[in-house]
Structure 1
Amino acid sequence: LPLIDISPFLTWKASPDSRAHIAAHLAAACRTHGAFYLTGHGIPRATTSHLLSLARRFFLENSPAEKAQIARQAPGAGDEDGVRGYQARGGDVVGRRRSWREVVDVYREGGGGAADGLLEGRERWPERHEEMREAVEGYVGRVRGVGRAVVRAMGVALGLGVGVGVLEGGTEGAWVLRLVGYPSLPEEGEENGEDEKEGDGDDGEQYSCDAHTDYGCVTLLLADATAAALQVQLKDGTWIDANPIDDAYIVTIGDIMERWTNGVWQSTTHRVIHRGDTYRVNVPFFFEPALDAVIRPLDACIKASGEPPKYGKIVYRDHLFAKMKGNF
């Protein structure tokens, strides 16, 4: 995958030429690969390493009963909203299969506005892991700035002549952070026990997370050093390993960016097949539009595509809620 240094978009002192140079490389990466490695983000390695370590400790040092204390609950009394908190292995279906992973989901608070209470709650944190809460909140403050820099660069790459406002849908964009733990897949033919439920694939293949695209704007993936797990599908249909690079994010394009660009940039299909001996941990950060943002193909992108609008108008909130209900 291409390597993009985003640092010229993190400071107002950078020259227009340096930004134009990066934007050109970014445009090529998004057009041809739909994914790239991101360097120059300015987040200290100590910060990212600490967060990955805390996630690993939570998944490996807590019993199922302890994890269940912050398990995702259906919307109802109190702060339950159906999407925040812990989800055990097999709890979500991606593609045609239940995922072989466990997850803690953190969403920006502020009210989702769904009639059924979806996304109206507050975060769920483990009582004896206050350090994890502090680390997540501090990290979000930093990585949101990186997300803004990326979409600023994308705006230049698309020739929009605008800042973050258009591609984020407003300065108060939504976001989602996931702490994800991947145990090694069982050996071929090994019984999955209670995890073999309706929704598993029937072709005999095993995936930690089946092939999918992310349904938002841009995903910034912080991953541990595990290789030969994450795979990205190229435009010709072939799959390549997206192995971690030291001190770099793996960035993928989501469905909303494909809509904005009228298909000039296509959302990135990816999957996880983790057969290594280690317990893999990653922290994807989903940088999203504002919930009330109206998403439609942008005029400049319609012109660049040379085709009529491929997508109708949607409100991001409606798109997000439909995906949440389908996945969980």
Structure 2
Amino acid sequence: MSNIPTSASRQALASVPVIDIAPFCGDSTHAERRRVAGEIRQACIDIGFFYISGHGFLPAEMDEILANGRRFFALPVDEKMRIAARNNAANLGFIQTGGLNPDAATAAQADRKERLYLSRELAPGELPDDTSPAGKSQWLPEETLPGFRAAIERQTARKVTLARQLARAFSLSLDLPENYLESFHDRLGCIHSFNYYPPIDPEVADKLWGFSPHTDYGTFTILHQDNSGGLQARNADGEWIDVPPIANTFVINVGDLLARWTNDTYVSTLHRVMNRSATARLSISFFAYPNPRAEIASLESCLHDQPSAYKPVISGEYIRHLLTQAYETGRTGVSSRTAERLAR
């Protein structure tokens, strides 16, 4: 039997744990990886959020990508609209406040953010696939943002590697072979999203969502936030707790597909952002999800002799359905299960 805890009893955390994942990013023993996997398992049961250190990214690299994000969003709107996502078959590119095609009513209700959606490059020998965003990013001319594309492609490739390392950690946390979940991510679906929250008048900040309450869609998210704060997650008691920036860490959170895979043993947690600052906020989300053609069904080991709470879904179809909601409304897409939780 494994020494990884199997209880799904959730603790109402007041803060999100920090986990050193270095054993999954370099040489280590199986015992060292199992210890880290146990920490991940408990965090995923309790709240579905944890910080990671030991990920191999240097502080200078983390500062560089934030600086590049700020360079992009500082451009005039007309420049950013040259790579508008609505003109891209995969909806990659710049998304203004209000979604792909905002009107006055949509913009008034939309979250207060702009976004830049990118994805990874095609792997050697990989062919374009109409179900995958890989290889379909839009880029401004080099003279508009010198060095931007090369820097972002480099960081995206690093996060693809980190996502596969995390897939092994999640597998071991579920008492699966370490390559089990990684094998579903052989043609990793991913969106590298730069999220810009403009300065808000403090007198009205509490009435305007930067990112309204939602869950993420995929397997998990790798989040990099600047020093502004504003991110909150809802714990097992239904209380909103802060997930503040911690230097040289990423925030990892469970997405809907991993919750479905584990039959809610791991929780895809409601979270939200309010920028209460008179300065702009920037975060960078790397949304990782399986090969878009993969079928996701609850693991037998997570059923505990009970029927699954979920029907099997095709990864890409599930993601696309929720993204379509987001593109049309300027607010995040919400699954039926998430909508039920939001009503509580």
Structure 1 match to 2:199: 184
Please, what TM-score do these two structures have when normalized by structure 2? Answer: 0.82
Matches of 1:247 and 1:46, distance apart in 2:
9
Residues 1-328 of structure 1 aligned to structure 2 (within 5 Å): 1-11=16-26, 13-60=27-74, 62-74=75-87, 80-81=88-89, 83-91=91-99, 97-108=109-120, 111-113=128-130, 119=133, 122-127=136-141, 128-160=144-176, 162-166=177-181, 169-188=184-203, 205-227=207-229, 229-303=230-304, 307-328=306-327
Task: Report how far residue 151 of structure 1 moved.
Answer: 1.6
- Number of residue-to-residue matches in the alignment: 300
Please, what TM-score do these two structures have when normalized by structure 1? Answer: 0.85
Q: Is the 8 A contact 1:81 1:121 kept in 2?
A: no
| Unpaired segments ≥5 residues, structure 2 | 1-15, 328-344
Task: Report how far residue 87 of structure 1 moved.
Answer: 1.0
Matches of 1:35 and 1:207, distance apart in 2:
21
Letter aligned with residue 261 of structure 1: T
Letter aligned with residue 170 of structure 2: M
Report the secondary structure of 2:43's partner residue. Answer: helix
Identity of aligned residues (%): 28
CA-atom RMSD in angstroms: 2.3
Q: Is the 8 A contact 1:99 1:209 kept in 2?
A: yes
Letter aligned with residue 289 of structure 2: E
Give the 3 Å change call, closer, same or farther, for CA 210–219 of structure 1 in structure 2: same
Structure 2 match to 1:199: none
Task: Report how far residue 177 of structure 1 moved.
Answer: 0.1
Matches of 1:299 and 1:10, distance apart in 2:
29
Matches of 2:287 and 2:202, distance apart in 1:
32
Report the secondary structure of 1:73's partner residue. Answer: helix
Structure 2 match to 1:201: none
| Unpaired segments ≥5 residues, structure 1 | 75-79, 191-203
Q: Is the 8 A contact 2:90 2:136 kept in 1?
A: no
Q: Is the 8 A contact 1:51 1:132 kept in 2?
A: no
Task: Report how far residue 82 of structure 1 moved.
Answer: 5.1
Q: Is the 8 A contact 2:49 2:252 kept in 1?
A: yes
Report the secondary structure of 1:176's partner residue. Answer: strand
